[in-house]
Amino acid sequence: MSNRIQKRPRHRSSPPQTSIANPARTNAVDQVRIALRPRNRLATFLGFLLGGFVPLASFFVAHFELSAITPLYAQRALYLVLGGLAYSAKTVWQWGTLAFQNGFKAFGFVVLLEGVMVTSHILWLSIAALVYLMAINGIATGCNLTAKASR
């Protein structure tokens, strides 16, 4: 027997082509790959405009238009924030479920991320949550637009 180790040829295989027929069932990494494909970049850009605007608006309304002096139920701006949280929560929960493989962890992720974004007085922390939410909602919306365009 020889002490030589036979080298196997290294082939760079491209990642498997993933279908975006149902974005909610496509894992998060595949959604990012799909969103960044050259032919999908316009849909991703529009996804960021549509999906990313909601957390951005919720952040600014929560931090700059709600007052600590007036009761929350008397402030119309609260309903805008609640609408933004409702819009975003389902998408973030779907991503969390795919990423963590656990619905309970996904629920905690949603509550923490959305809650920190609108209630934290630590500016860098609420901005970090905002960036996460804009990325998740932007990519997911872009993938939804791509799926609709490819049908």
**CB within 8 Å of 9: residues ≥ 6 apart:** none
pLDDT in tens, 49-61: 999 999 999 999 9
Mean pLDDT of 32-45: 86
Using pLDDT thresholds of 50, 70 and 90, give the confidence band for residue 39. confident
Poorest-pLDDT segment among 27-31, 72-76, 112-116, 118-122: 27-31
Taking only the tens place, the pLDDT of each residue in 81-100 is 999 999 999 999 999 998 89
Burial of residue 54 (CB within 10 Å: 0-12, 13-18, 19+) is buried
Q: How confident is the model at residue 151 (pLDDT cuts 50, 70, 90)?
A: low
CA distance 83 to 89: 10
Q: What pLDDT does residue 34 have?
A: 83
**Residue 39 CB partners (closer than 8 Å, separation 6+):** none
What DSSP string runs through 83-115? HHHHHHHHHHHHHHHHHHS-HHHHHHHHHHHHH
- Judge whether residue 7 has pLDDT over 60: no
Separation of alpha carbons 3 and 117, rounded Å? 60
The DSSP letter of residue 10 is: P
User: Average pLDDT in the 17-21 region?
Assistant: 50
